Amino acid sequence: MNVPDLFQPLAFTRGPELKNRLLLAPLTNKQSNEDGTVSDHDIAWIGRCARDGYGMTMTCATNVQRAGKGFHGQLGIYDDRHVEGLARLAALIRAGGSVSSVQLHHSGARALGGVNGIPAGPSGDIADGARTLSTAEVEHLRDDFITAAQRADTAGFDGVELHGAFGHVLAQFLSPTLNTRTDPYGGTLEGRSRLIFEIIEGIRNACRPDFQLGLRLSTERFGLQVAEIRDVAAEAIHTGSIDYLDMALHDIDKTTDEDEFKGRTLLSLFTDLPRGNVKLGASGKVMSARKAAAALQTGCDFVMIGRAAILQPGFPKRVQHDHDHRSPELPVTQTHLEEAGLSPAFINYMREGWDDFVAPDTVLASK
Ligand SMILES: Cc1cc2nc3c(=O)[nH]c(=O)nc-3n(C[C@H](O)[C@H](O)[C@H](O)COP(=O)(O)O)c2cc1C
């Protein structure tokens, strides 16, 4: 696979074809209004990304319940009043020639307690001050994920991605250490993954037939076990109800230390799975044209672009015109990010939330 292969169109089972295989990863940016509605900064950022040339443009993690809010400035999809702003984002993405998706998210036991009362997850001991969701509340959570997908559908998005990665609520349920429930949503892997599969089936039944559905999974930390995550991925593919699997890896070249697979790359454990019509993509330190092409070479159908999308507008267009394109080296200055179109809130998040991303800015520091 070579760089031009990244620009082969990609068709999912459902919904519109993607014009290329470089997709914008979900990127939290903490710049929405505090009530979860879309801000002018969201419009500017998504408008910029929509013009960048990605095959699909995905929103940041967007919370499906008020109680699931994970951070200030998070985009919301838990209320009908969010639909109007979301529809503006969907229209911008479509006008940019990109397929659109909302990432559906809930922070579970790690939600902002101070804003929403007591955070709750599969088990109360996950975080200080958290409590355990009752079975009825888990069913309610499932239904709120499905209703959120319907809102995305109403807003004109081509699909949604379920955020099952990084220790947020769906990964909390998957984790054998974080989920100590004894009801049908705990116990064996079948029980711990039940919530995800009920949401997938619910979205399939509630949204229009060509609505695209992706599942994001990660394999590390939070007690997650790669063998189990591989089984969940295989089952999600087997249902035929998802269009794509998005593996969130720290680095697409990373190998695993787990005994069963020692020395193998995490990615190879997923590219090896029979996948039928379900497409497979991954993210993790893809900062150059060559590395993106290498991800296709290892068996991915598409590549998710995270930090490279933040660092400079137009990653796909740059890759298309320069097969040796590389993103700027980290860290970059505040001025660099301002020129790349980031809002003050987004830059602040990159400074405080991500090590070695924003360097002291000599221009501003001298003032
Ligand atoms: C600023 C920032 C915000 C992120 N927000 C999200 C998010 O909302 N949802 C999610 O699933 N992953 C999120 N991620 C992870 C990225 O989607 C991606 O998987 C990760 O950054 C690895 O890709 P990269 O090396 O290309 O950045 C975020 C990453 C960054 C840098």
pLDDT along the chain (367 residues), means of 10: 96 98 98 97 97 98 96 97 98 98 97 81 88 96 98 98 97 97 98 98 98 97 94 98 97 91 94 97 98 97 98 98 97 96 96 93 50
CB 173 within 8 A of CB 183: no
User: Of all protein residues, whose CA lies closest to atom 6 belonging to ligand 1?
Assistant: 27
Q: Ligand 1: does its nearest atom lie under 6 Å from the Cβ of 106?
A: no
Query: Residue 253 corresponds to which tokens in the numbers above?
Result: 């070249």
CB 86 within 8 A of CB 77: yes
Q: Ligand 1: does its nearest atom lie under 6 Å from the Cβ of 284?
A: yes
> How does strand 358-359 pair with strand 279-283?
unpaired
> How does strand 159-164 pair with strand 120-121?
unpaired
Q: Ligand 1: does its nearest atom lie under 6 Å from the Cβ of 27?
A: yes
Span from the CA of 226 to the centroid of ligand 1 (angstroms): 20
Nearest atom (ligand 1) to Cα of 61:
8
Q: Ligand 1: does its nearest atom lie under 6 Å from the Cβ of 216?
A: yes
pLDDT per residue over 88-109, tens digit each? 999 999 999 999 999 999 999 9
Span from the CA of 268 to the centroid of ligand 1 (angstroms): 21
Span from the CA of 175 to the centroid of ligand 1 (angstroms): 20
Q: Ligand 1: does its nearest atom lie under 6 Å from the Cβ of 165?
A: yes
Q: Ligand 1: does its nearest atom lie under 6 Å from the Cβ of 25?
A: yes
Nearest atom (ligand 1) to Cα of 305:
26
**Reported CATH class of domain 3-327:** alpha beta
User: Of all protein residues, whose CA lies closest to atom 10 belonging to ligand 1?
Assistant: 26
Query: Residue 200 corresponds to which tokens in the numbers above?
Result: 């997938």
Inter-CA distances, 14 with 6, 209, 241, 242, 244, Å: 20, 8, 10, 9, 10
pLDDT of residue 366: 40
Separation CA 313–CA 258 (nearest Å): 38
192 SS3 class: helix
274 preceded by cis ω (within 30°)?
Answer: no
Separation CA 33–CA 352 (nearest Å): 19
pLDDT of residue 367: 38
User: Of all protein residues, whose CA lies closest to atom 16 belonging to ligand 1?
Assistant: 306
Chain-centre distance of CA 348, in angstroms? 21
pLDDT of residue 365: 44
CB 222 within 8 A of CB 170: no
pLDDT per residue over 273-314, tens digit each? 999 999 999 999 999 999 999 999 999 999 999 999 999 999
- Length reported for the chain: 367
What's the predicted TM-score (pTM) here?
Answer: 0.97
Inter-CA distances, 310 with 106, 232, 287, 337, 340, Å: 23, 31, 11, 8, 8
Alpha-carbon torsion, ordered 298, 303, 307, 308, to 10 deg: 90
pLDDT of residue 344: 96
Separation CA 23–CA 141 (nearest Å): 28
Q: Considering only CA atoms, which of 102, 195, 106, 204 is closest in space to residue 151? A: 102
The angle at the Cα of 251, spanning 247 to 254, to the nearest 5 degrees, equals: 100
Q: Where in the chain is the domain with CATH 3.20.20.70?
A: 3-327
Pocket test residue of 23, 24, 28, 342 for ligand 1, highest count of atoms within 8 A of CB: 28
Q: Ligand 1: does its nearest atom lie under 6 Å from the Cβ of 282?
A: no
DSSP 80: G
